[in-house]
Structure 1
Amino acid sequence: MTPDRDLNLNLPVLGSLAQHEASALSNYATEYGSRGYMRENTTALAWREEGKITLGNYPPVHPTETIRASRQRRPSEMRYYHLGTGIEGEKAWAVSTVMTRQNFVPSADGTGMVHALIPLWDMCNHTNGQLTTTFSPELDRSECTACRSYSAGDQIFIFYGSRSNADLFVHNGFVFGDNHHDSMRLKLGVSKADPLQAERAKLLSRLGLPTTGEFYLKTGADPVDGRLLAFLRVFSMRQEHLEHWLDSERSSDLVYPDCALETDVETKTWNFLHTRIKLLLSAYPTTMLDDLDQLNKGGLALCRRLAIQMRVSEKKILHGAIDYVEQRLLACGHPSSNN
């Protein structure tokens, strides 16, 4: 925040404009000391009866130390920020804290966006919900409304946005166990050596899809993103199918699971995805049970625990997608050929 802007402590929660794409909030407030720059105390915002906020000790959702550790593992990044590979302690913590808490707010003249630090808002932990932060040009301040009702002593949460655990892990330094917006990226492409590459590219272009790009598997009951499904269907078509859908006015239906599609194309689509997911799961050095066993035993270093939690998050998506794909194959009358 700029020095000439007021900090209104009567707001339910303070925050910045919800466009913190540069890096968002680590939201783990630590007690700073000259010899102990990372202490065990964790501070978050709590609601007071009189309608103001106060500080309280709660378990951290995501420790800032993770961000600091990731900086230490990337010497090139540390040199970029003029830290040097040998700098540790308070300076490393301070720089990583600032770099992971940048937010955008409108400039004073309203012509653009400027970086801002908003420490009070930064103490709020993440939860599922919706963005409730805006910027008021009239009052020249950021405003964040409560995402639910709070009682005295309750910790105040905010929603960081529709981010996967991979994004939260890299940019915020934590893994959110019940992330309703979790997803996993898949890189797919049509080979230039494919004899039907031109036809596939034309149909994909009509659907607004690239011939090579990133697609997503999601958490929840419908894990196959519509863009991914349409790409795989086009990828699985023979020439006669491609010609049919290029001539069809309903080609946009290819993004929907229940699109009226030839059974052999549908079967090939789901079998391909089933094989790809199995390959991804086989690439992990551990099973889901192994990971859960390590987490339950305890005694793990903080960063290692987060890495295993991230691995579990990915595997949950993949296992959920496997179950979904197998159900789709059964609906086609063709159990998975990989079982």
Structure 2
Amino acid sequence: MSVTAATTWLVTGARGQLGGDLLAVLAGRAGDDVTALGRAELDLTDEGRVRDVVRDWLAGARRQGRRPVVLNAAAYTAVDAAETDEATALLVNGSAPGWLAEELAGHGRLVHVSTDYVFDGTATEPYPVDAPVAPRSVYGRTKAAGERAVAAAGGDATVVRTAWVYGAHGANFVRTMAGRALDGAPVSVVDDQVGSPTWAADLAAGLVALGARTGPVPPVLHRTDAGAVSWYGLARAVYEELGADPALVTPTTTAAFPRPAPRPAWSVLDGSAWLAAGLPAPRPWRTTLHLALREWPPR
């Protein structure tokens, strides 16, 4: 695997959970240039603005003689809210990735982050990259539309599906469970949804490694931490890691907690294509959870 030192990076969604870790990884790349754009700097519902920003950034990359790479970590991720706000979700998740890909086609690389929600969640084996998509929620449908838009642009782009991401930035399941554990509070968690908890810091490192590669890259990859567990099992692991009594975590069912958007019962993704591409092997989810809870304050 070869890399180039003269790279300029554009990170969208830079103030979000994954974006913060992408910036941390990129800060360690000597000689590279990074442009970080959050929602305030780049409104992904505004096509003209998106195209103008990317064109200006590409022009700067050409002047500097740098290789341009966009890491698109921006998304409309309010899964339940999307059920009644499909128009906005479709712009951010479906249309904007296509605008980015079209502007970059022939000029730079796009690494676009997608989700397990593009699948229906009825499988019993890990989903391969070429499994048929069959989203059951507005969020999943709009993310699938974004994948199609990226593919249609025909440029140097990879869609990277991930799942169950948690990290130091923003709210997430692990941080919520950590707070309950530190309070010694009981919690009831669904045990009939299974996936692969994914530490944002490790995911970010993998995405940057993908962006930094020279030569062809696969059009679709899956990247989660290794292994699988239910939300209930993950919650118990958080309690154990923080020295709380895991018996305070009790199992329940998805049916007991109805939500506006259906959740996939099975979110395990097959990462063999990621490994075949020579990218960094994911660590086991329990290993990364252990490291994460010691690296950042759990509240």
TM-score category (smaller protein): under 0.3
The answer to which structure has the higher helix fraction is 2
Between structure 1 and structure 2, the one with the greater Rg is 1
